[in-house]
Amino acid sequence: MFELVFTRRFSMAHRLLSGDSERCALPHGHNEYIRAHLRATNPTALDGHANMVMPFQRAKGVWHGFIDNHVDHALQLAENDPLLAWFAGNEPQRARRILVTPGDPTTELLACLLMAKLNAFLAADGGALTCASIEIEETPTNTVRYSGDPLAVLPQPRTAPHCWWRRADTTISDT
């Protein structure tokens, strides 16, 4: 079976408040690579003419625009992080650049949220492709790969249809 694999790089900042690491509790950043593996939902033989599952530009266009224009250089914060209220009160124009997550914005959680978002984009484009797996390289030595249904492992009850990662729009927050 063919897989279309797309890689994108983005810079981000986050902080993790629930763990034991004081280093990670302070806002800090990473330059990450995200690699999406797409598969045909109904695989068929090549047609003898175009011989492709889907043109690359169509398959990756919305996704790359979303990563480049909304995820890149976004601050990732948990929905209960007090910095959200600070931004809302002091710099509301920047609050839209905050990617808000259900709990700490770990690489594992981000992989599932972004896989769900990519699947929403693909479904809105007719559903010919689905994301089979996604990898996020947080550092050159730390990578998370997820395959399966991302909604099955996301914190409950945050899998409701209205969540930003379930919508085929460019939002990164429900606040």
Domain ranges in the chain are: 3-166
Domain covering 3-166 assigned CATH 3.40.109.40 in the classification: no
The model's pTM is 0.94
Residues 101-114: tens digit of each pLDDT = 999 999 999 999 99
Q: Is the peptide bond before 157 cis (omega within 30 degrees of 0)?
A: yes
pLDDT band at 7; cut points 50, 70, 90: very high
**Quick one: pLDDT band at residue 159, thresholds 50, 70, 90?**
low
pLDDT digits (tens, 9 = 90+) for 54-100: 999 999 999 999 999 999 999 999 999 999 999 999 999 999 899 99
pLDDT digits (tens, 9 = 90+) for 100-157: 999 999 999 999 999 999 999 999 999 999 999 999 999 999 999 999 999 999 987 6
User: 103 in the Ramachandran plot: left (φ > 0), alpha (ψ -120 to 50) or beta?
Assistant: left
pLDDT band at 5 (very low <50, low <70, confident <90, very high): very high
Which one has a higher pLDDT value, 159 or 115? 115
pLDDT at 86: 96
Mean pLDDT over all residues of the chain? 93
What order of strands is seen across the sheet that includes strand 129-139?
98-101, 74-78, 4-14, 28-40, 129-139, 142-147
Which residues are paired to 144 by β-bridges? Answer: 136
